[in-house]
A and B are shown apart, each in its own frame.
Chain A
Amino acid sequence: MFPYLALAAILFSIGIYGVMTRRNVIGILMSLELMFNAVNINLVTFNKFIIADGLSGQLFAVFVIVVAAAEAVVGLAIVLLIYRNWRGIKSDYVNVMKW
């Protein structure tokens, strides 16, 4: 079980690195997808090795996938809006709410 959890942890921190360093909004969204996948690997691993009598981990992973899809749809619509307003998709353009 340990290698699966370690793989998920390393993938999650790669996602953290991407979210913190990317300047392109689509890059940030892709790093978010990496983090969702790490979480899903964790859920399925625990489902196999810890509570093998049910499938609650896998069901939760299904819901995570659905919510991630919804997030990607709304996020990419916002990306198109940003592009329409600023002619570019860098995240530093969107500083209207920055104090």
Chain B
Amino acid sequence: MMESQPSIAFWLLAIVILTSGFMVVSLRNIFHCALNLIMCLFSVAGIFILLGAEFLAAAQVLIYVGAVAILMIFAIMLTSEISNRRIVQTTENKSVALFISVIFALSSVFLIMGTKIWRMSDQALPENNTLTIGKYLMTEYMLPFEVVSVLLLAAMIGAIVLARKEAS
């Protein structure tokens, strides 16, 4: 079984991802949660670079950190109830949720560890990551590309229609 030993960078990124991800779901101040989410997304971009997906890392930083997280912060700023001590941020079924997620994590990790037969391939990824992705998007994945652009257009129009003030 080919097992490439991950570098020290992977462990550092993994620690940052898991701690900031845990902060996202556990902190009381929702604004701090958003900042931790940005940290987590940056570290996931680092993981992508370790896995040889440079284009995806750039897209992650541009779209997630640059657009989605900023949008979240805008929404937090536009609404209230951000950082009051009295606000209960969690529902009452906390222990059930903790139980379910711990069971899910343990079972999937054991499943991954127990699986011995991966059809590993020894080939390297294509050189010139971005070039190859661009070629694929314009040839083989033409239809999904167009569909996803229609989806983006629909999401944009839908958001405008939803957030517009009613002209009563």
A-side residues, CB < 8 A to B, are 1-7, 9-18, 20-24, 26-27, 29-31, 33-34, 37, 40-41, 44-45, 47-56, 58-59, 61-63, 65-74, 76-81, 83, 87-90, 92
Contacts and interface: CB of A to CB of B under 8 A. Distances in A.
A22 B137 contact: no
B168 interface: no
Q: Chain B contact residues (Cβ within 8 angstroms of A): what range? A: 35 or more
Contact of B118 (A49, A55, A80): A49
Contacts of A30: 24, 33-34, 37, 72
Given A30-B37, A77-B162, A51 B68 contact: no
Nearest to B135: A55
A89 B79 contact: yes
Q: Mostly helix, strand, loop or mixed at chain B's interface?
A: helix
B113 A2 contact: yes
A53 B162 contact: no
Q: Which of A22, A23, A24, A58 has the most CB of B within 10 A?
A: A58
A14 B56 contact: no
A60 to B, nearest CB: 9
Given A21-B94, A30-B37, A3 B14 contact: yes
A43 to B, nearest CB: 9
B155 A47 contact: no
B17 A7 contact: yes
Contacts of A83: 78-80
Nearest to A66: B148
